[in-house]
Structure 1
Amino acid sequence: MKNIVLIGFMGTGKTSTGRLLASRLGRPFIDTDKRIETDNGISIPDMFTLYGEAYFRKKEKDTIAKVARYTNVVIATGGGAVLAEENVNCLKINGLVITLTASVEVILERTGRRSNRPLLNCDRREQQVIQLLAARDALYKNAADFIIDTTVRSPQQVTEEIIVYLRRGGHLRGRS
């Protein structure tokens, strides 16, 4: 079975939805950001501070290359995974890519709950979100097999919508 890959900007619900979806489908769940932290023994914010974004992106690329080879898993990527075409290509070989989106206001509210987002640790968070979204929007859309706006949907509702999509496309059989 193909992997189900969730991509999208920070705060769109990739991790929450991914956990629920994996549970519903009886599949393992992999959060690439958590895997990077575990494999490297350092948090992503600390990695950014000590070594910079380029170092993190290299670790992200290595991790995505590994997990993309798995089968029958649910993968949630970091928001910037689409910045490297190589990441998207790896994930699409053995996976269905689902892009989660949300409004700027909702992203700001969701990402404001924790301070573990290195790219948003700045005074002008709203401007930063708008700028990053503008730079990444086409990448998210071009990579997607399916797009879901999570602005007014709970992770449970998003999970249901993904399951409906998977059934309609013949990617799921039986109960889930």
Structure 2
Amino acid sequence: MEQLFDYNIFLIGFMGAGKSTVAKYLNKTYGMKVIEMDRMIAEQEGMSIPEIFRTHGEEYFRKLETSLLVGMKNQSNTVVSCGGGVPMREENVSAMKKNGRVVLLDAKPETILERVKDSHDRPLLENHKDVEYIAELMEKRRPKYEAAADIRIATDGRSASEICEDMIRQLKKEVR
């Protein structure tokens, strides 16, 4: 199978925006390697993300994210599903930009709530599953997300294939 990109794709966006779904689709359809940051960190640490937060704190977790990104400099044709907080750190954004393109997956707060309402592995949302809280947190992160993104794709009411075709079209159009 021909390699789709000679660089990595970093999927950023709020939890529930569709990063994992899009990553799986790119893997299945185009044979891109997938790194799920949260899953990889949980495996390396031998504990769940909520446990890492409880045991070592958020700062410790954020450092693990940064070292994972920095460690990707020799990879290509890999799609990385980033945790929601990844673009909040400057050093993460520069590591992503050095190693690939950053794609912001966007969704409305209502869509996010619908997608995450039954999940319990999102420490920042656990006791706040309502549209107002989600909208507020999204708004806080929006400037950093937008500053980090090379392209932006809306995911509301779209299938993984529609989202991916749109993303590939935009990435192929964009010349470094």
TM above 0.5, yes or no, is yes
Aligned with residue 82 of structure 2, among 77, 80, 86: 77
Equivalent residue letter for 2:137: L
Query: 1:18 aligned to 2:6?
Result: no
What SS class does the counterpart of residue 5 from structure 1 fall into?
A: strand
Equivalent residue letter for 1:21: L
Query: 1:122 aligned to 2:127?
Result: yes
In 2, Cα distance between the equivalents of 1:11 and 1:4? 18
Equivalent residue letter for 1:101: D
Name the structure 1 match of 2:10: 5
Name the structure 1 match of 2:147: 142
Alpha-carbon deviations, 1:23-63, whole Å to 9, x = none?
32222111111111111111101111222211211111122
Give the C-alpha shift of residue 162 in structure 1.
Answer: 1.4
Aligned with residue 51 of structure 2, among 46, 62, 81: 46
Query: 1:132 aligned to 2:141?
Result: no
Query: 1:93 aligned to 2:98?
Result: yes
Equivalent residue letter for 1:20: Y
Contact 2:113 2:129 in 1 (8 A): no
Name the structure 2 match of 1:107: 112
What SS class does the counterpart of residue 84 from structure 2 fall into?
A: coil
In 2, Cα distance between the equivalents of 1:123 and 1:139? 22
- Unpaired runs of at least 5, structure 2: 1-5
TM-score by length of 2: 0.90
Contact 2:72 2:99 in 1 (8 A): no
Of residues 154-163 and 13-22 in structure 1, the stretch that sits farther from structure 2 once superposed is 154-163
Give the C-alpha shift of residue 89 in structure 1.
Answer: 0.4
Identity of aligned residues (%): 37
In 2, Cα distance between the equivalents of 1:48 and 1:151? 30
Name the structure 2 match of 1:174: none
What SS class does the counterpart of residue 162 from structure 2 fall into?
A: helix
What SS class does the counterpart of residue 74 from structure 1 fall into?
A: strand
In 2, Cα distance between the equivalents of 1:58 and 1:2? 23
Equivalent residue letter for 2:52: M
Alpha-carbon deviations, 1:95-147, whole Å to 9, x = none?
01110010000001111121110000114643331221111101111111110
What SS class does the counterpart of residue 47 from structure 1 fall into?
A: helix
CA-based RMSD: 1.7
Equivalent residue letter for 1:81: V
- Unpaired runs of at least 5, structure 1: 172-176
Give aligned pairs, total: 171
Of residues 98-107 and 159-168 in structure 1, the stretch that sits farther from structure 2 once superposed is 159-168
In 1, Cα distance between the equivalents of 2:86 and 2:163? 21
